[in-house]
Amino acid sequence: MTATTPRRSWEGLTIPTAGTYALDVNHTRVGFTARHLMVSKVRGQFTEFSGEIIIAEDPMDSKVEANIAAASLTTGQKDRDAHLASADFLEVEKFPQLTFRTLRLTGHSGNEFTLLGELTIRGVAREVELAVEHEGLATSPWGQEVLAFTATTEINREDFGMTWNQALESGGVLVSKKVKIEIEGEAIRQEG
């Protein structure tokens, strides 16, 4: 590493120097998984989003903000996507954005960080805890400093007003209350 490389060593990790990183939408996946019929998993993702990671001098003071276009949801099945966009679930006409913002980082062990944030879905804001893994830093062939990460959490969709369901004859319900959120991403350092 040269003196101009925006990296530093911190508690055994190579991390970025302080600065702002914008999510690279071409190399980031904002996905989710829910149970269907209580036995299988349905996976989906949002294809339109923006966000930035602000790395602080003290890494534990770093922050994240993200906006997700609710209508960009896709599960690969048009009828299901239309139902998820309806008032039974995301109600995208009335609530076009899902948002997330950091409240604070609460701890770390090695390259794994615990981040407490505020997630807003359907106008309802709730605190959620994300497990964030710092995957590393790289310099692209175009000279861009890239930060890679993964983040996961699990929410109860009913906490956000998405209570629609259907009881099954065999017991259980059609759609699980628990939804796992999985983000795999890259973010690019912004100049100045």
Q: Which pTM value belongs to this model?
A: 0.91
Structural domain contains residue 6: no
Residue 133 lies in a domain: yes
What pLDDT score does 2 carry?
39
CATH code of the domain in which 100 resides: 2.40.128.110
In the predicted model, residues of the chain with pLDDT beneath 50 are 1-3
Within a domain: 42? yes
- What total number of domains does the chain contain? 1
pLDDT tens column, 34-43: 887 677 799 9
7 within a domain of the structure (yes/no): no
Asked if residue 68 belongs to a domain, the reply is yes
Residue 174: predicted pLDDT:
65
**What does DSSP assign to residue 92?**
T
129: left (phi over 0), alpha (psi -120 to 50) or beta: beta
Coil vs helix vs strand at 37: coil
- Is residue 43 in some structural domain? yes
What is the domain extent for residue 27?
Answer: 14-189
Res 169: pLDDT: 72
Is 45 within the bounds of a domain?
A: yes
